[in-house]
Structure 1
Amino acid sequence: MTMTNWQAQWIWGDGEESPRNEWRCFRKSFEVPHSEGLSNPTASLRITADSRYVLTVNGTQVGRGPVRSWPFELAYDTYEIGHLLKPGEMNTVAVLVMHFGVSTFYYVRGRGGLLAELNDSEGNVIAATDATWQTSEHVGHHPRASRASCQHAFAEYIDASLWDSSWMEKEYDPVNWMQSVVLGPVGMEPWTVVKPRDIPLLTEEIITPVRVESLAKIKTFQVTATLDIRNGWIDGSEVHANRIHFLGYTATSLVSSKAGKVTIGFLQSGECFKALSLNGEWIEGNQIYGSAPERYVDVDLQAGDNLLLIDVSSHIHTGKLQIGLYAEEEQVVSFQAPASYREHQESSWLRIGPFDAVELIDHQRVRELESEHPIYLELHDNVRTVEDLSVYKDWIQPLNPKYVSEVDVFALSVWRKENIRYAVPPQLQNAIIPNAEAASVPVFEGYDTEVLFDLGKEYSGYLAFEVEANEGDILDWYGFEYMAGEYRQDMFGLDHTLRYVCKAGRQRYETPIRRGFRYVSMTVRGAKQPIKLYNVTMIQSNYPVAEVGQFTCSDELLNDIWEISRHTTKVCMEDTFVDCPAFEQVFWVGDSRNEALVSNYLYGVQDIIKRCLRLVPGSKHQTPLFADQVPSGWSSVIPNWTFFWAIACAEYYEQTADEAFASEMYGHIRFTLEHYLTNINDQGLFAIKGWNLLDWSPIDQPNDGIVTHQNMFLVHTLRVGARMARISGDQQGVALLENAALRLETAINNHLWNEDALAYIDCIHADGRRSQVVSMQTQVVASLTGVAFGNRKQKIDSYLVSPPSHFVQIGSPFMSFFYYEALAKLGEVDLVLADIRHNYGMMIRNGATTCWEQYPNFLENRANPNMLTRSHCHAWSSAPAYFLGREVLGVRSLAPGWSEIEVAPALSGLTWAKGSVPHPAGGRIDVSWTVNEASKTMEITVSYPASVTVHVRMPEGYTGNVKELKLQLLE
C-alpha cells in the first residue's frame, strides 16, 4: 500500500510534543468477523512510531521497530498477523512507544507519535490509529534515568510494582487510561514521507550465558546522582547532538548527619568536571586521585550543610556529571538544595549560568568561547558560603528535576569500597540453565550481592530474566565487554544499565532497549532474603543471514581469526551496519564500506548494503558534503568517509551489476563531489576545515589544512564518480570528474612529495607549514589510489613491503584493511597473512572472541596497561574474513555481478584450505585445495553456479588437477 491510502492518523498523548524519555502505551480492542472457509483471517498491520516501538497482538509480541530513518522519510513495518487474531472475538493490539526526546547519533529528534493500520486481504480497515485508541504513560518507567551517552538515548529504570505488566493482554482493563490525541494525517510534519521498510525483520535468537562467572558481596556509594548538564544548561540542545563549549557551575549542599570523612567520586570527569570547592575552599589537583575518567577526593564534612560548588565548564558531547558519595554507615549524607533555596524546591541542585555557550557545527566554531567572562571568573573567586550565592541570583535557578537522575547505576556498579568474592555454588548456575530449579541468590547483611554472568562471546540484543522476589527488591544490571583475571574493563562513557525494582512474586522482564556486551552483572540491593533467579538470557538480534561463507585451513590460528571476524560482522549488522554493538550502535558511513566487502564474502546479502548507501544522501540537509554518520543529530563530516561511501556505491554495482541503482546513486555522488571541489585552493589541492581522519595514530592529519591521504582518496573518488557517470550515460559528468581528478593528482605530485625523504608528506598546515611527518598511512593510500606512479610508485611499494622504522606505523585494524588491499594488488599475500597472524593473533592470545577496535597496547591505551583496546567488538576490524576468502581461497570477481570469476589461491605456507563464498546471483562458490610442496603439485576442487564463467589459476610454479562442478540454478 502507498502512503496516500492510509486511513490511520498520527496519535499521541496530551502534554509535550517531544517529551524527554517518555514511554507511552497504546491499546485498541476490536472484533474480527469470521472469514468464511478460513480458520484464520488474512490481515496485515502497518506500523511506525517516533522513536521506537514494541508491538503485541493478543498478548504475543510480534515485532520491534522502526528501522533508523530520517524523520522526513520515516520507515514503516508490515506484519502479517492473521494467525494471531480470533474471529468472532474481541482482539487487542498493544504498542509500547519509547520516545527519546533528544537527538542521538542514530536518531534525529522529531516528536512523539504512533501510526498503525490493520487491513484485511481486501484492504478494508479493521483498526487504525485515531482518537478511539486508549493510551497511558508507562508509569513504571522512570523518565529521569541517566542519559546513556551522546550516541544513545537513556539508561533504563523500571519499577515493576508501579505498573501492571499484563497491560498488553486482551483481558486487561485499562482503567484510568485516556483517549489518544490525534496529531494529524499521514504526510504531516515532521514525517512528511512514510515508506515501507526496505530490509527483512531482524532476528531474535535466545542466547544463554555459558556460566555464572563470579559471586561477591560488595559495598559501594550510598548516594549517587547524574546531572544532564548539556540539556539542563544549554537550552535547545536536545534538537541536535553537536559538540558544545560552555561555561557554568552547579551547586548543592552535602547534608551530613555528623562530622566525618566522605569520599566523593566523579565517574565521567572527561566532561563537566573542571574543579570543585567545598565550603568555599577550592580543592587542589593533588588532592584528587584516580586515573581518568575516574576521579575521587576524600573530604571532611561538618555536621549539617556543606556547600559543594562544581565548575562544570566543558567541551561536551554527552555532557553529564556522574557523582557518588561514600561515608561510613553511621554517617548519613545526602544531596539537598543549599539552605536558602531549599523551601518549595523539588531539585537538590542549582544551575548557575551558563555564562557563555558555543555550538560546533561540522567541527567549526560559530565564534570563540568567552572564557574570560567576568561573572564566571568573579563567582569562582567570591563564593564561599550560601549567602555569597545571593549576589549572583540573576545567574542562578533551580535545576529542572527532569535533568537529575537521583541514582546512577553505573557508578554503583563500577566503584566499590569492598569487594569480597565467594566460590560460585553449583546451584547458582541454575540461573542460566533453561527449565531448571531456580538459582537462589544469597544476601549479606550490610552488603549488596553481585552475580556476574559470562555469555561466552559478545552479543547484541535484549536482556531478559525471571525472578521471584519481594516488592521493592532492587536488581541493578550492568553489561560490559572484557575482563581478565581481577581486571574488569568498565565502559566509561556508556551507561547501558538497567535498574529493575521488583514487585512481589514471580515475574519476567524483557528490556526493549538494545545493548551489546559479553559480561553482565546483576547486583541485588535492599533485599532482606534470598531472591530466586531463573532464565537469564540474551535475545540476540541482527540482520537475518545464513552462514553461507565458510573458511578453514591448515593454520588453526587463521581459523580462529576468521571465526572472530565472522561473529563480529554478524553482531554489527543491525538495521544498518554499525561500528559496534555496545558503545555506539552507529552507522558510520566510512566504516560500512569495508564492512560491506566483508559481508559479501560471509553472507552475500545485498538489501542491507543498499539501505546503508541510500541513507547517506539524506544528510544533505545538514551538509552538502554528506555526514560521516547517518541518520544522526551530530552534523559531522569526515571527508574520507564521504569518499568511501561513493566508492562503496561503485563496489555495490560491481557486486550486483545493478545499473538502475548505480544511476540513482550517481546523482548524489556528483552533487557532493561538486561541493567538495569548491574547496580546491590556489595550488590545486583540496584544503578543508573538518575532521580529517583516517587512522588512530600520530600521523599529521590536522583538522584545518591540506591532508595528503584525503587528497589522494578524493582523486580516486573522482574517478569512481566518472565511472558511475559513464554507467549513467552522463558524458558531461565523465569529463568533469575525470579532468578534476587529473588536475588534483598533478597538484599532489607537485606539492606533496618530499624529494629528500623520497615519500609523500602527511600534510600542509593551514599556515603553509609543510609537515615533517612521513607515515605508512599516506604511502599506502598513494599506492592504493594510483596517485603514485613510475619511479615513485616503485619506491612507495618498497615501503609497503618493508615499512621503514622511522615512518609512523599503522595504528588500527581499519587502516590495515587498506594496507592489505594495497599489498594484495602487489601480490604480497604472504605479508598480508603475516600481519594478520601477528596483530589478530595478539587479540586471540588475549582472549578475544570478537575483533577489537584497536590493536593491543595501542598509543591511546598506554595510560592503563590492562586496557588493550576501547571497543572489543568493532566491525571495521573484520578484514581477515574478506582477505582469507579473496586471497587464500582465491575467489574474486572479474565482471559486474560476478558473471565471470577467477579462483587463484595464494598458498602462503598453508598445506590445505577449503571454504565457500556467496555468489550475488544465488548459490555459492565452493573451493578446496591441497598442496604437496615436495612435488609442487596441487589438487583444486571448485563448484559454482553454471551461469558463471570460472577461470582457475594455479600459483606460479605449481601443476596439478582441477575438478569443477557446475550447479544449475532454479528457473
Structure 2
Amino acid sequence: MNKLLRRHLTMWQASWIWDSGEESPRNAWRCFRKTFDYRQIDGNREAKVKLTADTRYVLYVNGTQVGRGPVRSWPFELAYDEYDIGHLLQNGAANTIAVLVVHAGIATFQSLRERGGLLLQLETGSGAVIERTDASWKTSVHLAYDASSSRISCQLPFTERYDARSWSDAWTEASFDDSAWEQATAIGSAGMAPWTSLVPRSIPYLTEEPVYPARVEELSFVRPVPWSAVFDVRTMLVPDSVNHANPITFVAMMASVLTLSEPCTFTIGSVDDGRIPFRVRIGGKWYADGDLSGEKPNAFLELQLTAGEHLLLIDLTGGSHGHGYHLGISCDAPFELRSPIADSAEPANAVPFAIIGPFDSAEHIDHQPAVSLAVEQPLYEAIKQIDTADQLSEYAEWVKPIPEQLVHFSDVYSQTAWRIVDKPQPVPAQLQHAVVAGADAGVIPVHAELDTEILIDFGRELSGYLAFTIEAAEGTIIDGYGFEYMRDGWRQYTFELDNTFRYTCREGWQSYVSVVRRGFRYLALTVRGASRPVKLYDIKLLQSSYPVANVGTFHSSNAKLNEIWRISRDTTRLCMEDTFVDCPAFEQTYWVGDARNASLINYYAFGSAEIVERCLRLVPGSAFQSPLFGDQVPSGWSSVIPNWTFFWVSACLEHYQFTGNGSFANEMWPHVRFTLEHYLQKLDNRGLLNMRGWNLLDWAPFEQPGDGVVAPQNMFLVKALRDAAQLADAAGEHAIGEAFAERAAPLRNAINDGLWDESRQAYLDCIHADGRPSSTLSMQTQVVACLCGIPTEERAQVLQRYIVEPPADFVQIGSPFMSFFYHEALVKLGMQDTLAADILQQYGVMVDQGATSVWEVYPSSNITINAKMLTRSHCHAWSAGPVYFLGSEVLGVRGLTPGWTKVAVAPKPVGLEWARGTVPLPGSGRIDVSWKVNESSKTMQLRVVAPSTLELEISAPDGYELEVEKVLLG
C-alpha cells in the first residue's frame, strides 16, 4: 500500500457500521443517526464531516440535506466525501447527523455487489474528531420505502415506492425520538474488506438546480389494466445472479391457475417483455408472435374463455440481463389467479404464479469461451404440453414458489402504459398553476370512477431528482412515469427502463424529494384513489450535473447549425455526472469508449479536465475482471469491447495533450502498456487480432461477430499502438514507446494482406471464426481504415471516393457516434465542407423533430423497435460531436503542444458567411474567435482574443487572404 493510501486510512477513527442482520440485503433503505452535544472551540465554527457508504447515501444535519454520494467507485478504491457543516451546527445544544443509506444488494452497471455499510467522521477545523460512526449510533429500516420495488433496468437498481403514512420526516432532526431504533453494529475499521482503500473525492459536487416545467401538456381520465405485476425473472431462476451483472440464459416457465366465474373476453400481455418474447399456453394451445396484437414490444393476446379453471403456462426460455418482465391481465368478468402449488404453507405462495425449472441456465461473459444450454430438454418439452394443474402436479419437484420480493404487483409501468379507458380532457388554465413557481396551487380534478393523469412537459430533457409539494387525502396514490419523446399523441415509452415511482400520501400538506436520479422530458402524473381533488403546489426537477460553466460558444450565419451546436452542448452536460454517462435516462452508465468522444467535446464546451481524468483513472480497476479492461466501469458486468479499450488509450494521450500533465502520463502509461500487451497476445498466425469479445463499433447491420477477426478493431489497434508510443514518450519511456510503434507496422501489413477484398475493392468487415469472409461491406470499415492510416496510397484513393460518395450497397453509418470517426476522417482528408454538410443533414433531422438534445442513433439504424421510434435514447453523449468539430474546424482552434501553450487558429468557412465563438483553454482562460468572409474579394476578416502568454499560429483557409485583428490579454 502506498504512503498516500496509508495516510487516508490512518486518519479514520470511525468504524464501519451496519445493522445486525443480513450483510447485503436486496434493495435496503436504512437510516442511521446520532445526536450529540456540540461545543465550539474558541468560537471557531469550522467543522467538517467525512463519509462514504455502500451503495449510496443522503446526508442530513439537523434536518437539512447536505449532500448525496459517494461517486461511483471500485470498492477497493472507495471514494469518500467531505462537507463543511459548521454553519449548520448549534453551539451548546443537541445536534443530529442523519444518513439514509440505500444499499442495492445486487450488482449493477454502476457498482459491484459487496455488503452494506456506512463510515462517517466529524472533525473540527484542526482535525480533532468530534463524532464518529460506531456502535453508539442508532439505525432503523426506513419503513416508507418498499423494499420489494422492481428493478429500474439491468443497468440500475430499484424503483422508488414511498408510503408517507409509514414514516416521519422528522427522523433527520434532533427532536426525533429514536429510542425504539436498534443500536448499530460496528463491522470493522477503515480499510476492512471489501473497502480496502479510501480515497478523497477528486471532482466537485454535482449541482442541484431547480428547474420548473414548461406546461401541463395533457389531462385525461384513465383506468389502468386491472391486474399487473413485474417479475425479476433473472433472480427467480438464477438466484446467485445478483452477484454479477452478466447476461443469463435459461430454459424455464412459470404457471398460474386462472379461475373465471363466467365466460368472458380475457386479455393477457406484456407492455415490456424485458427481452423475453411473450409466449403463453392456455386452453391447450401455445400463442406467440402472429397470434398477438400490439405495437412492439407490446404483446397482447385476446381470447374468449369459458367459465372455470384454466392453466396458464408462460414460457420464459430465453435470456435476461436484469430487465423486469411486465405482465398484465384484463378481463370483462371477475377472475382469480392462484399458484398451482396446492396446499403449501410456504408464504411465497402469496404470489399467484410458480416457477417451473429452470431446466438449464448459463452465465455468459463475452470474452470467455461460449457456454451453451443443453440442446434436449425432455421434461421441458413434456410440461409444455400439459393443460391442467393436476397434470402439472406430476412434475412437482420442478415447480417452486416465487419469493414475494421478486414480484411487485400494481406495476406502475404497466398501469401507465396500458390503459383500458383513456378520456382526454381540455386542460384548464387554472391547472397550469401547478407548474409555475410561486403561483397558487394547481388543482388536479377527481373523477368518480376513473383515475386522473396529467402530463407535464418540462420543455427539454433533464436529469436529476424530482421534488414536489402537494395537499391530498390520506391514501391518495401519486404515480409518476418519465419519458423522453412524444409526437402527435404517440408516446415513446421507455422500453427496458422502468422510469417510474409511486408516492402514497398521508393526510394534508406534504413535500417529497426523490432519492432516485432519473432523466426525462415528459412526466406523467396519475392520481389514483383520491377522495378529493389534489392540490399540486410545486413540482420541479433538481437538475443534477457536473458543475461547469458554458465557456465554449458558437454562433454562425446558419441558424440550424447554431441549434445543432447548442443541443449538442446541452446533451454533453446532461451526460456529465460523477463520470461521463451514456444517457441520463436509460442507463446512466460510464461507457469507456463513449467517454473518449465526450471528453473531446467537453474540452471545447466546458474545458473541464478533472472529470476526464477521473474517468480515465477508473478503467484499470477492471483488470481483475479482464486484462483487456472493461467497456463500462465500475460494473458487475464483465464485458469487453476491444475498441472501447483502444479509445481509452487514445483518450489518455489526448488528455495529456490537452493538460500537459506529465504526472498523469507517467501514472497511466503502465496500465496502457499492460492491456495492450495482452491484446497483442491475441494476434493469430496471420498477425491479425482474433478474439472473442463484444466486437462492437456501430449500431448498424454490418458483420461485427463476437468471435473472429473484426476489421475495425484491428485498425483501431494500429492507432492505439501509435498513440501508446506517444504516451510512452511523454512518460519518458522512449525505447518502449518505439517498440509499440514498431508493432503497429506489421499489424497494418497483415490487415492489408488479409482483409482487403481485391474483387470488391474494399476492406472486409470481418473474417468469421470459421474462416468465412464477411458478406457485407460497410462504410464503417472503410472510414476506420482511412482514419487509422491503413491503406496503401492506391487504396487510399479508392477509399476517399467512398467517403465522399458512399456506395449505396455499403452498410451506411447508423449512429452519430460512428459519424464522429467519419468526421475525423474527413478532417484528415481536408474535407471540412463535406463534414459541415453531413452535420446539417444528419443532425438537422433531430432539430426538425424538435429535439432538445441529440439522439443515440439515426432513424436508419437497426435498433429501433417500430417505425415511430426515431431513436432509442433521445439524449446521448456519444452523439454530441458537432461541438468539437465546429470549434476545432469552423472556428479553427486546435492545441499544438501539450497543455496548449501553442495554439493554431485556422478557420474553415464551410459555406458560412460568418462565425464567432469561444474555445476554453486548459486550466483557465479562453480564446475568442470571430471571422467574416467576403466571397467577391476572397478575403477573411479574423479577430482573435487570447491570453498574451499563448503562442498563436494563425493561418488562412485555402483561397482566402487574411485580415487579422489580434487582441492579447494580460
Q: Give the corresponding residue for 1:953.
A: 955
**Cα deviation code 1:722-780 (max 9, x no counterpart):** 22222222244224312221111111111111222222121111111222322111111
| Amino acid in the other structure paired with 2:174 | K
Greater alpha carbon shift after TM alignment, 478-487 vs 344-353:
344-353
CA distance in 2, matches of 1:750, 1:53: 56
CA distance in 2, matches of 1:224, 1:425: 32
Q: Secondary structure at the match of 2:863?
A: helix
Does the 8 Å CA contact 1:273/1:310 hold for their aligned counterparts?
Answer: no
Greater alpha carbon shift after TM alignment, 347-356 vs 867-876:
347-356
Q: Give the corresponding residue for 1:436.
A: 439
Q: Secondary structure at the match of 2:664?
A: helix
2:968 corresponds, among 960, 963, 966, to 966
Q: Secondary structure at the match of 2:749?
A: helix
1:295 corresponds, among 268, 283, 299, to 299
Q: Give the corresponding residue for 2:155.
A: 151
| Amino acid in the other structure paired with 1:26 | F
Q: Does 1:20 align with 2:20?
A: no
Q: Give the corresponding residue for 2:619.
A: 616
After superposition, the CA RMSD in angstroms is 1.5
Q: Give the corresponding residue for 1:919.
A: 921
CA distance in 1, matches of 2:35, 2:262: 58
Q: Does 1:51 align with 2:59?
A: no
Does the 8 Å CA contact 1:12/1:113 hold for their aligned counterparts?
Answer: yes
| Amino acid in the other structure paired with 2:342 | S
2:867 corresponds, among 850, 865, 868, to 865
Q: Give the corresponding residue for 1:933.
A: 935
Change (3 A) 1:935 1:628: same
CA distance in 2, matches of 1:845, 1:857: 16
Change (3 A) 1:743 1:55: same
Q: Give the corresponding residue for 2:885.
A: 883
| Amino acid in the other structure paired with 2:453 | E
CA distance in 1, matches of 2:284, 2:189: 58
Q: Secondary structure at the match of 1:689?
A: coil
Q: Secondary structure at the match of 1:417?
A: strand
| Amino acid in the other structure paired with 1:491 | T
**Cα deviation code 1:863-904 (max 9, x no counterpart):** 622111111000100010111111111111111110101111
**Cα deviation code 1:358-408 (max 9, x no counterpart):** 110125455320142222112112x32222222111112211111111221
CA distance in 2, matches of 1:272, 1:687: 31
CA distance in 2, matches of 1:757, 1:701: 19
CA distance in 2, matches of 1:594, 1:37: 50
CA distance in 2, matches of 1:876, 1:788: 27
Q: Does 1:120 align with 2:124?
A: yes
Change (3 A) 1:299 1:805: closer
CA distance in 2, matches of 1:303, 1:12: 53
Q: Secondary structure at the match of 1:249?
A: strand
CA distance in 1, matches of 2:482, 2:343: 38
Q: Give the corresponding residue for 1:88.
A: 92
CA distance in 2, matches of 1:37, 1:162: 41
CA distance in 1, matches of 2:676, 2:826: 28
CA distance in 2, matches of 1:758, 1:304: 68
Change (3 A) 1:741 1:286: closer
Q: Give the corresponding residue for 2:725.
A: 722
Give the superposition deviation at 1:34: 2.9
CA distance in 2, matches of 1:142, 1:780: 51
Change (3 A) 1:816 1:497: same
Give the superposition deviation at 1:921: 3.1
Give the superposition deviation at 1:794: 2.3
Does the 8 Å CA contact 2:341/2:399 hold for their aligned counterparts?
Answer: no
1:3 corresponds, among 9, 19, 33, to 9
Q: Give the corresponding residue for 2:660.
A: 657
Does the 8 Å CA contact 1:359/1:366 hold for their aligned counterparts?
Answer: no
Change (3 A) 1:485 1:175: farther
**Cα deviation code 1:205-243 (max 9, x no counterpart):** 000001011100112211111111111110210010101
| Amino acid in the other structure paired with 2:255 | A
List aligned pairs for 1:235-634, cutoff 5 A: 235-278=239-282, 280-283=284-287, 285-303=289-307, 305-328=309-332, 331-338=333-340, 340-341=342-343, 345-362=349-366, 364=368, 367-381=371-385, 383-634=386-637
Does the 8 Å CA contact 1:560/1:844 hold for their aligned counterparts?
Answer: yes
Q: Secondary structure at the match of 2:889?
A: helix
Give the superposition deviation at 1:956: 2.3
| Amino acid in the other structure paired with 2:75 | P
Give the superposition deviation at 1:474: 0.5
Change (3 A) 1:206 1:421: same
2:698 corresponds, among 691, 695, 699, to 695
1:205 corresponds, among 186, 206, 209, to 209
CA distance in 1, matches of 2:645, 2:932: 42
| Amino acid in the other structure paired with 1:509 | Y
CA distance in 2, matches of 1:279, 1:385: 9
Change (3 A) 1:245 1:80: same
| Amino acid in the other structure paired with 1:172 | F
Q: Does 1:646 align with 2:652?
A: no
Q: Secondary structure at the match of 1:421?
A: strand
| Amino acid in the other structure paired with 2:688 | L
Change (3 A) 1:50 1:569: same
**Cα deviation code 1:471-527 (max 9, x no counterpart):** 111110000000011111011100010011111101001111000000001001111
CA distance in 2, matches of 1:652, 1:168: 43
Does the 8 Å CA contact 1:198/1:611 hold for their aligned counterparts?
Answer: yes
CA distance in 1, matches of 2:186, 2:46: 28
Greater alpha carbon shift after TM alignment, 895-904 vs 935-944:
935-944
Give the superposition deviation at 1:170: 1.8
Q: Secondary structure at the match of 1:507?
A: strand
CA distance in 1, matches of 2:704, 2:710: 6
Q: Secondary structure at the match of 2:808?
A: coil
Does the 8 Å CA contact 1:709/1:762 hold for their aligned counterparts?
Answer: yes
2:40 corresponds, among 34, 39, 42, to 34
Does the 8 Å CA contact 2:724/2:740 hold for their aligned counterparts?
Answer: yes
Q: Secondary structure at the match of 1:844?
A: helix
Instruction: Give unpaired runs (5+ residues) of structure 2.
Output: 1-6
1:165 corresponds, among 162, 169, 174, to 169
CA distance in 1, matches of 2:562, 2:834: 17
Change (3 A) 1:893 1:814: same
Does the 8 Å CA contact 2:278/2:288 hold for their aligned counterparts?
Answer: no
| Amino acid in the other structure paired with 2:956 | M
Q: Give the corresponding residue for 1:904.
A: 906
**Cα deviation code 1:147-181 (max 9, x no counterpart):** 11101111111111111122112211124211111
Instruction: Give unpaired runs (5+ residues) of structure 1.
Output: none
List aligned pairs for 1:751-770, cutoff 5 A: 751-770=754-773
List aligned pairs for 1:789-868, cutoff 5 A: 789-861=792-864, 864-868=866-870
Change (3 A) 1:341 1:384: farther
CA distance in 2, matches of 1:506, 1:515: 25
Change (3 A) 1:545 1:11: same
Superposition TM-score, scaled by structure 2 size: 0.97
**Cα deviation code 1:555-591 (max 9, x no counterpart):** 0000100010010000000000000000000000000
Change (3 A) 1:830 1:624: same
Q: Give the corresponding residue for 1:139.
A: 143
CA distance in 2, matches of 1:776, 1:755: 17
CA distance in 1, matches of 2:117, 2:193: 11
Does the 8 Å CA contact 2:233/2:320 hold for their aligned counterparts?
Answer: no
Superposition TM-score, scaled by structure 1 size: 0.97
CA distance in 2, matches of 1:774, 1:161: 62
Aligned length, in residue pairs = 962
Change (3 A) 1:474 1:654: same
| Amino acid in the other structure paired with 1:665 | M
Change (3 A) 1:789 1:365: closer
